[in-house]
């Protein structure tokens, strides 16, 4: 009888007090995306870096917003520091997320679902670089990538 009551207790404990995975993921994405909106450039870069490390693909539209951000930032961690730019960190984060980001690039380039992203010549070069790193394909023009993404 005690094993049965223990099982019932544990079942209801997990049911009533257990965190929902989607809620946890939502909170995680929310916290990192919130950092990217920070006035503090260092905090923005840290949020971008963590999005890439954790491969939070649902945060990709927010990373697209920063593709043209060329502010230079000095990061210091464990007594070491480095100079970087926000757009370079966005590129690295998107590359870390990998093939899951191609769907978002499709929505950006083909369906125009992200109107807040300005696509100028520099942005096109960055997108070509990112997609070529992800796919391993050597295509030089964005129009060829659009054809590739449509397939």
DSSP state of 58: G
pLDDT at 60: 93
Segment-wise mean pLDDT, segments of 10 residues, the chain, 151 residues: 47 49 77 88 91 92 92 83 92 94 88 85 89 83 73 66
pLDDT at 2: 54
- Alpha helices for the chain (secondary structure H): 2-17, 21-36, 41-54, 60-64, 86-97, 102-109, 121-135, 142-150
DSSP string across 71-93: -EEEEEETTEEEEEEHHHHHHHH
CA distance 20 to 135: 34
pLDDT (tens digit, 9 = 90+) per residue, 122-146? 888 898 899 889 988 877 777 777 7
Q: Are 71 and 86 in contact (CB under 8 A)?
A: yes
pLDDT at 15: 47
Q: Are 146 and 95 in contact (CB under 8 A)?
A: no
pTM, 2 dp: 0.79
CA distance 84 to 143: 29
């Amino acid at each position: 009888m005690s094993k049965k009551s223990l099982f019932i207790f544990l079942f209801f404990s997990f049911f009533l007090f257990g965190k929902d995975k989607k809620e946890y993921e939502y909170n995680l994405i929310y916290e990192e995306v919130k950092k990217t909106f920070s006035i503090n450039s260092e905090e923005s870069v840290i949020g971008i870096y963590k999005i890439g490390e954790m491969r939070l693909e649902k945060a990709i539209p927010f990373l697209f917003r920063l593709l043209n951000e060329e502010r230079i930032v000095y990061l210091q961690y464990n007594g070491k520091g480095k100079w970087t730019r926000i757009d370079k960190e966005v590129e690295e984060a998107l590359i870390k997320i990998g093939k899951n980001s191609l769907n978002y690039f499709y929505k950006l380039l083909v369906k125009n679902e992200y109107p807040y992203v300005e696509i100028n010549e520099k942005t096109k070069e960055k997108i070509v670089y990112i997609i070529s790193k992800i796919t391993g394909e050597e295509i030089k023009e964005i129009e060829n990538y659009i054809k590739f993404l449509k397939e």
